[in-house]
Amino acid sequence: MASRPRAHPWMANSAPGVLEGMLAEIGAASVAEVFEQIPADHYRKAPLVLPPQLASELELRRELVARLRRNEDCERNLSFLGAGVWQHHVPAVVDEIVGRTEFLTNVWGSYQSDHGRNQAWWEFQSQLGALLNLDVVQLPVYSWGCAAGHAIRMAARITGRRKVLVPALSDPERLSVIRTYCEPPEMAGHIAVVTVAADPTSGRLDLADLRAKLGPDVAAVYFETPAYLGTIELGAAEIARAARAAGAETIVGVDPVSLGVLAAPGDWGADIVTGPVQPLGVHMNCGGGVGGFIASRDEERYVRQYNGFLVSIAPTAEPGQWGFGLASSHQTSYGAREHGRDWTGNSTYLWAIAGAVYMSLLGPEGFRELGNLIVARARYAQRLLAAVPGVRIVWPDTTFKEFVVNFDGTGRSVAEINDALRARGIFGGKDLSAELPALGQSALWCVTEVHSAADIRRAAQTLKEILQ
């Protein structure tokens, strides 16, 4: 008798005799017979060649760790990279909770069997609503750019208009996603994306240019504060007023970790608010930690336009008891296929749980302290870097955690400088020279609570050394 392969640890019915037993019960002579629906000529002809099986956990772990060790990371190195993914402190309790197998392997049950998860989701919405001062928060979509894209499409449906104004100084990564969501000009549903100039002295939105472009065809104005290049938008309330006067929606992007110190967008006239969820307790994960939220006032004209899951609290059959479920869900693509609002599917809901734990750990004082610490250290970094000969901060003292550093005076390119820094265990800021040539040899640096004063001094000192 030929030796049979060993049972696989992940397949119970690979144990000897089980498959045969089931075949006998269904009256099939062979496995092939069970596949009777597939015509013979549909079977693949190319042999399936895959890397050798690593069926033992021992071998699998060894291979995994060996591969990953070929990466350099931001713990062993000192990183100043941001621009859509930022290094923040992740409390250990967050890691414990998002690693719970009940949450990790959960898919979808009943409102009762998923009660704990649904409560965590609702607490994410509630706590983020408290930071934003808004009553409706949706569970996160794939990313901030996707959130902005959906928000713009919501505004287009609400207003019946097909143009959106966005800052010229937008993150090209995010803007590319927004353009994808706005559809190419050939499509009937195309939303024109028109850029608004920046004030060259501050990086803020040029209000004159904004007013010139606002008109009866504009569905929405989209802008961020802090903006892509770190700028705190001082004219936010004025932008919202101008948009409203033109009948357009004001869509805003905010960094939730700034909201302990920056005014809540719900308080200054934003209609639809978006932002990243990664800063709320999610590791950078090589970009795989991103997610984006969408929030608004609790008005039906907004609520009926959301694309995804809106968790609502609801009574249960037991008097006085509360449970959770999905509000207005028939408008999603699950409920209405192509008649629904855009589409939804698997998203980044585990990060809603991370965010819920994170926000509950920080509380109001934690967010205030965090915001103050970040802005203080980022400004300190600006001062120290600006003191390096040839280095200039482009818009000093106007930013939150990110800021533009210009190296034109050094005679060196950002790429050269970052290479030299990397050789000394430092990841310099994102190179902007190709995407924003007007800024010369500039980089976007990011400083957060993880950067101590000593780290910042080390960076400035190293920069000084390599530029000598």
Partner 1 sequence: MTAPREFHAARWNEPLVMQLGRPGARGQLFPAPEPEVAEAVGEGLIPAAVARKDRPQLPEITEFEAQRHYLHLSQMTLGMMGISLFGTCTMKYNSKTAEYAAQRPELAEVHPYQHPDTLQGVLSILHEFDQILRALSGMDQFVFQAGGGADAAYTMAAVARAYWADRGQLGQRTEMVTSIQAHPCNPATAAAAGFRVINLPLEEKGYPSLQALQAAVGPNTALVMINNPDDMGIYNPEIREWTKAAHAAGALIFYDHANFNGVMGKLSARELGFDACMFMLHKTFGAPKAGGGPAVGAYGCTAELAPYLPAPVVLERAGHYLLDHDRPKSCGKIREFWGNVPQVVKAWAWARAMGAEGIRLASDISVVANNYMDRKLAEIPGLQRSHDNIAVRRMEMTRWSLGPLKEETGVGTVDFANRMADYGIDPWWMSHEPWIVPEPFTPEAGELWSKEDIDAWIAVVARIAREARECPEKVRTAPHNQPVAQVKGEVFDDPARWAMTWRAFLRKHGAEAARGAA
Partner 2 sequence: MRIGLVVNPVAGLGGAVGLRGTDGPGTVAEALRRGAVPQAGARARRAFGVLAAARPGAAVAAAPGALGADWLAGLALEVTPLDLPAATGTARDTRAAVAAMGPGALVVFAGGDGTARDVAAALPPGAAMLGIPSGVKMHSGVFAVSPEAAGRLLADILADPDRVAWTDEAEVADIDEAALRAGTIAPRLFGHARAPLARSRMQAAKGSPRRDDGAALAAAAREVADAMAPGVLYVIGPGTSAGAVTRALGEAPTLLGVDAVRDRRRIARDATAAALERLAGDGPVRLVLGVTGQQGFLLGRGNQQISAPLIARAGREGLIVLASEEKLRRLAQPCLWVDTGDPALDAALTGFVRVHTGPGRAMLMRIGAA
Choices 68-76, 258-266, 326-334, 366-374; region in contact with partner 2 by CB under 8 A: 326-334
10 touching partner 2, by CB under 8 A: no
Q: How many residues does the structure list for the chain?
A: 468
Return the number of other C-beta atoms located less than 10 Å from residue 176's C-beta: 11
Is 323 a residue that touches partner 2 (CB under 8 A)?
A: no
- Residue 312 interacting partner from partner 1, partner 2, none (CB closer than 5 to 8 Å by kind): partner 1
CA 338-340-342 angle, to 5 degrees, is 85
Q: Which does 461 bind (CB under 5 to 8 A by kind): partner 2, partner 1, none?
A: none
| 188 binding partner 2? (CB under 8 A) | yes
Q: Which of 325, 355, 371, 429 binds partner 2 (CB under 8 A)?
A: 325
CB of 345 to partner 2, least distance (A): 10
Q: What one-letter code names the amino acid at 228? A: Y
Nearer to partner 2, 44 or 339 (CB): 339
Pairing of strands 136-137, 292-296: antiparallel
Whole-angstrom distance, CA of residue 157 vs CA of residue 162:
9
116 binds partner 1 (CB under 8 A): yes
Q: Minimum CB separation from partner 1 for residue 106, in Å? A: 4
Gyration radius of the chain's alpha carbons:
26
Residue among 45, 339, 434, 438 that touches partner 2 (CB under 8 A): 339
Q: Which residues contact 243 (CB under 8 A, 6 or more apart)?
A: 214, 218, 220, 221, 249, 250
Residue 363 interacting with partner 1 (CB under 8 A): yes
* 34 is a site residue for partner 2 (CB under 8 A): no
The reply to whether 457 sits near partner 2 by the rule CB under 8 A is no
Alpha-carbon torsion, ordered 439, 196, 224, 242, to 10 deg: 150
User: HSE of 272 in the Cβ direction (CA atoms, 13 Å)?
Assistant: 31
| Closest approach of partner 2 to the CB of residue 114, in Å | 8
CA atoms of 445 and 406, how far apart (whole Å): 10
CB nearer to partner 2: pick between 327 and 450: 327
- Which token pair is 397? 């003292």
Q: Is 325 in the site for partner 1 (CB under 8 A)?
A: yes
CB 445 within 8 A of CB 80: yes
Residue 37 contacts which entry, partner 2, partner 1, none (Cβ below 5-8 A, type-dependent): partner 1
What is the C-alpha to C-alpha distance for residues 289 and 284, in angstroms, rounded to an integer?
A: 5
On whether the CB atoms of residues 271 and 249 are closer than 8 A, the answer is yes
Can you tell me the distance from the alpha carbon of 430 to that of 394, in angstroms, rounded to the nearest whole number? 15
Our CB check for partner 1 shows the closer of 146 and 243 to be 146
The whole-angstrom separation of Cα 255 and Cα 400 is: 10
449 binds, among partner 2, partner 1, none (CB under 5 to 8 A by kind): partner 1
Residues 278-317, one symbol each (x = binds partner 2 by CB under 8 A, - = not), give: ----------------------------------------
Does residue number 140 form part of the binding site for partner 2 (CB under 8 A)? no
Among 223, 228, 367, 403, binds partner 1 (CB under 8 A): 367
Of 14 and 333, nearer to partner 2 (C-beta) is 333
- Of 181 and 400, the one with the shorter C-beta distance to partner 2 is 181
- Residue 358 phi, psi (nearest 5): -60, -50
Pick one of 89, 330, 383, 457: the residue that binds partner 2 (CB under 8 A).
330
Q: Is 106 in the site for partner 1 (CB under 8 A)?
A: yes
Which residue matches tokens 């479920």? 325
Closer residue to partner 1 in complex, CB, 324/395? 324
Query: Residue 403, interface with partner 1 (CB under 8 A)?
Result: no
Backbone angles phi, psi at 55, to 5 degrees: -70, -20
343 lies in the binding site for partner 2 (CB under 8 A): no
∠ CA 179-181-183, nearest 5°, is 75
Does residue 459 bind partner 1 (CB under 8 A)? no
Among 16, 63, 194, 435, binds partner 1 (CB under 8 A): 63
Q: Is 179 in the site for partner 1 (CB under 8 A)?
A: yes
Site for partner 2 in 218-277 (CB under 8 A): none
Does 205 bind partner 1 (CB under 8 A)? Our answer is: no
Burial class of residue 11 in the structure, from the number of CB atoms within 10 Å of its CB (0-12 exposed, 13-18 middle, 19+ buried) = exposed
Beta strands at 402-406 and 442-446: parallel, antiparallel or unpaired: antiparallel
* Cα atoms in the 13 Å half-sphere on the side-chain side of 200: 3
Interface mask toward partner 1 for 28-57; x: CB under 8 A: x--x-xxxxxxx-xxxxxx-xxxxxxxx-x
Q: Does 195 bind partner 1 (CB under 8 A)?
A: no
Interacting positions 216-275 with partner 1 (CB under 8 A): 225, 232-234, 236, 259-264, 267
In sequence order, the 6+-apart residues with CB closer than 8 A to the CB of 172 are 435
Measure Cα distances from 73 to 76, 87, 276, 286, 426 in Å.
6, 11, 22, 9, 10
- Residues forming the site for partner 2 (CB under 8 A): 108, 111, 188, 325-326, 329-330, 332, 334-336, 338-340
